[in-house]
Structure 1
Amino acid sequence: MAAEARDRDDAGRARSARPRDGLGRPLPYGAAGVERQPEGVRRTPGGTVREAQRLLDAGMPFHAHEVFEDAWKSGPEAEAPLWRGLAQLAVGLTHAARGNTVGGARLLRRGAASLAEVPGAHGMDVPGLVRWAGELAHRVADGAVVDAAREAPRLRGGGSAS
């Protein structure tokens, strides 16, 4: 059996070119999808928060996670736990909105635990985000249907957008 050709990025790394929906799920080639976030973008912390909030408010937590991941990987080591915890919250919301209650609740709790060790930073209400994640994880574990845009957290001010 011949190996199928894999999609590659400009650097030759394997990278799927399939379009994705707002929750990051792959769509068939040729389908209209949501534009992917460019990788490796260096933003200011404020720029990271603004772009991630825009994506969360639009119901695209998978894409917000990519923004947090860029900050985690390119920012100061001392801030890695903050950005990693936020990325975990965004992925938890993604899984919950996709109907993966076990994975969603687990990632929301993991992100909340990571953030519980981080002082507030860049104007974000970290204790409010920890509360939001814990409450949502509990509801998700109980089988709640999650709408990503309606459940989006407020990065500055805590709680959800609704």
Structure 2
Amino acid sequence: MASGTRDRDPSGRPRQARPRDATGRPLPYGDPRGVAPVPEEALPPSEALVLAQTLLDSGRAFAAHEVLEAAWKAAPDTERDLWQGLAQICVGITHAQRGNVAGAARLMDRGAGRLRRYAADPPYGIDVSGVLAWHARHATDPAAAEPPRLTVIMP
């Protein structure tokens, strides 16, 4: 693949053909240090949450962001801010893992802002209040904290 171009499927959609490290940084093609890619298609909400939590717990916030971004893009309009907010929290953690503390704080603040309207009646068992409390405690150094719990009840 030529430098500067993206991997695309026959319909022109971007695809994850290039290996990435645990923080989502691209590695050279064929690099054996790459982590397993996540599904590019949206998963049902409960499966997306379980996979995103598993990825967060294993230090792969960027991959959790990808799972939640797919859910956000497939969600009904009434839930888009919810999923986008969760994805932004995860990509904020990713920026902190990469050493970009200022960018992390901005992304996490945006994510928290999107989540607030769901705190009173969150769908799918998502612990919006818990994620917001986690954000309030760890927004300045999210990479040093245990990741947030996305749901009240995890299988």
- Do both proteins adopt the same fold according to a TM-score greater than 0.5, normalized to the shorter chain? yes
Deviation digits for residues 116-151 of structure 1 (CA, Å, limit 9, x no counterpart): 1223221121111011112221336xxxxx25xx52
Do the aligned partners of residues 8 and 136 (structure 1) sit closer, same or farther apart at CA in structure 2, a change above 3 Å counting?
same
Do the aligned partners of residues 97 and 118 (structure 1) sit closer, same or farther apart at CA in structure 2, a change above 3 Å counting?
same
Kindly report which structure 2 residues correspond to 1:12-161, keeping only aligned pairs within 5 A, or say none.
12-13=12-13, 15=15, 17-32=17-32, 33-41=34-42, 43-119=43-119, 120-139=122-141, 146-147=143-144, 151-157=146-152
Taking structure 2 as the reference length, the TM-score comes to 0.84
- Residue ranges of structure 2 left out of the alignment (5+ in a row): none
**Which whole-Å CA distance do the structure 1 matches of 2:93 and 2:61 have between them?**
6
What is the Cα deviation at residue 39 of structure 1? 1.5
Deviation digits for residues 99-129 of structure 1 (CA, Å, limit 9, x no counterpart): 1011111111111111112232211211110
Q: Contact 2:57 / 2:147 at 8 angstroms: preserved in 1?
A: yes
Letter in 2 for 1:87: A
Q: CA RMSD in A?
A: 2.2
Taking structure 1 as the reference length, the TM-score comes to 0.81
Q: Contact 2:61 / 2:91 at 8 angstroms: preserved in 1?
A: yes
Do the aligned partners of residues 71 and 30 (structure 1) sit closer, same or farther apart at CA in structure 2, a change above 3 Å counting?
same
- Residue ranges of structure 1 left out of the alignment (5+ in a row): 141-145
Which of 78-87 and 68-77 deviates more?
68-77
What is the Cα deviation at residue 18 of structure 1? 2.4
Which of 81-90 and 121-130 deviates more?
121-130
Secondary structure at the counterpart of residue 53 of structure 1: helix
Deviation digits for residues 50-101 of structure 1 (CA, Å, limit 9, x no counterpart): 1111111111111111111111111211111110000000000000111101
